[in-house]
């Protein structure tokens, strides 16, 4: 079932990007100095588009999503750049103003659905209260929309389920409820942070297919944060590959997967098992993601890169167009020496 859009919502700015992040930087002051977690990150998401944000743990994926939502934990803070949601700048809003924007303009889906659901209230009550808070609907109208949302996310017997509590749902069904909550007020943008990691493989496929369908039918833009390139390949339209707080490659999913330009992306793709070739061992990227307080100079990936030259350790490469994608690598910009 298709979710009916809330009447007249966003009609005047349908062509405006759901998300426009420009030069975003995030830092964490500490006793030993200021640590830069996100360094000059830019990305856009069009209405109805899924942007996959992928990388190892510590790459900065989740912090980017939290920064967009205005949910950075202290002492984390924005130190540069801008964030626009549906054409409205949100990084300069007060906490009170942001509270109104979250839910109405931005929704969130996190890894563990239990953290997003109150165990003391029925699913129906939580949906109805969320809808009424952000839209001002009357109770009967909000009840009807809550029922519609549960149907749209594929929950069987939705009338009965509205009266049940979160513990009465399986993990996959709880995540569907969280998706319904994220869609409750018809937002422009949803941040989905590892939404399938805690689920069985078969349920993961159902949830990613649901996100794709909802994106297509409602026009919401989705930032899909994950470490799984397989999920990105199946679900996203475009992908941003992050490493040590920076975007190192971005472009259409098929182009990045089949013709990666950055050595890190190449390493990620080689580490995925093949269905066609039998191998004794999987390829791996030697080394590990640098800590924030030990980030190397130049390209942060150079200590792990088999092609690194002297320029790689001295200068940080910019993200520039390379064919149909963009990559931040001196190899693609005239050499590494």
Q: What angle do CA 104, 216, 64 make, to 5 degrees?
A: 55
Look at the chain and report how many structural domains it folds into.
Answer: 1
Is the model more confident about 335 or about 175? 175
pLDDT at 179 (0 to 100)? 94
Distance from C-alpha of 218 to C-alpha of 180, rounded to nearest angstrom? 12
**% of the chain surpassing 70 pLDDT:** 93
Q: Tell me, yes or no, whether 205 lies in a domain.
A: no
Residue 27 predicted with pLDDT over 70? yes
* For residues 86-98, average pLDDT: 93
Residue 4 confidence (pLDDT) above 70: no
Q: Is the pLDDT of residue 78 over 50?
A: yes
Region 258-262 average pLDDT: 94
286 assigned to some structural domain: yes
Domain that holds residue 332: 237-274+281-337
Tell me, yes or no, whether 89 lies in a domain. no
**Average confidence (pLDDT) over 4-29:** 76
pLDDT at 8: 44
pLDDT of residue 201: 84
Structure confidence at residue 156 (pLDDT): 93
> pLDDT (tens digit, 9 = 90+) per residue, 232-249?
988 999 999 999 999 999
Of residues 229, 198, 224, the one with CA closest to residue 210:
224
Tell me the pLDDT tens digit for each residue of 132-190.
998 889 999 999 999 999 999 999 999 999 999 999 999 899 999 999 999 998 999 99
pTM, full prediction: 0.91
The answer as to whether 206 is a domain residue is: no
Separation CA 98–CA 205 (nearest Å): 33
pLDDT bin (cut points 50, 70, 90) of residue 7 is very low
108 within some domain? no
Residues 268-296: tens digit of each pLDDT: 988 877 666 776 777 788 889 999 989 99
What are the backbone angles phi and psi of residue 204, rounded to the nearest 5°? -55, -45
* Residue 313 belongs to a domain: yes
Residue 336 scores a pLDDT above 80: no
**Residue 327's pLDDT is what?**
96
Q: Are strands 19-30 and 77-85 parallel, antiparallel or unpaired?
A: antiparallel
The reply to whether 242 falls in a domain is yes
For residue 251, the number of C-alpha atoms closer than 13 Å in the C-beta half-sphere is: 22
In a domain, 253, yes or no: yes
Contact between 83 and 67 under an 8 Å Cβ cutoff? The reply is yes
């Amino acid at each position: 079932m298709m979710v009916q859009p809330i009447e007249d919502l966003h009609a005047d700015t349908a062509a405006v990007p759901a998300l426009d992040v420009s030069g975003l930087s995030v830092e964490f002051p500490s006793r030993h100095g200021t640590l830069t977690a996100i360094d000059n990150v830019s990305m856009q998401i069009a209405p109805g588009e899924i942007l996959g944000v992928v990388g190892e743990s510590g790459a900065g994926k989740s912090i980017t999503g939290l920064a967009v939502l205005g949910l950075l934990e202290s002492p984390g803070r924005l130190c540069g750049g801008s964030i626009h949601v549906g054409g409205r700048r949100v990084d300069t809003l007060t906490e009170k103003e942001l509270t109104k924007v979250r839910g109405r303009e931005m929704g969130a889906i996190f890894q563990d659905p239990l953290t997003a659901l109150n165990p003391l209230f029925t699913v129906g009550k939580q949906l109805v209260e969320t809808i009424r808070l952000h839209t001002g609907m009357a109770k009967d109208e909000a009840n009807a929309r809550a029922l519609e949302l549960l149907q749209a996310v594929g929950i069987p017997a939705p009338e009965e389920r509205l009266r049940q509590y979160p513990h009465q749902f399986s993990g996959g069904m709880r995540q569907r409820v969280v998706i319904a909550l994220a869609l409750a007020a018809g937002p422009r943008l949803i941040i989905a942070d590892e939404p399938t990691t805690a689920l069985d493989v078969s349920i993961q496929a159902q949830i990613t297919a649901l996100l794709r369908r909802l994106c297509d039918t409602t026009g919401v833009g989705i930032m899909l944060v994950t470490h799984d390139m397989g999920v990105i390949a199946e679900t996203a339209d475009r992908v941003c590959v992050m490493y040590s707080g920076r975007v190192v490659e971005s472009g259409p999913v098929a182009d990045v997967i089949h013709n990666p330009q950055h050595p890190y992306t190449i390493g990620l793709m080689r580490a995925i098992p093949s269905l066609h070739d039998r191998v004794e061992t999987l390829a791996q990227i030697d080394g590990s993601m640098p800590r924030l307080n030990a980030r190397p100079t130049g390209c942060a990936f150079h200590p792990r890169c088999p092609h690194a030259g002297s320029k790689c350790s001295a200068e940080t490469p910019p993200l520039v167009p390379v064919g149909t994608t963009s990559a931040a690598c001196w190899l693609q910009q005239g050499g590494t020496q």
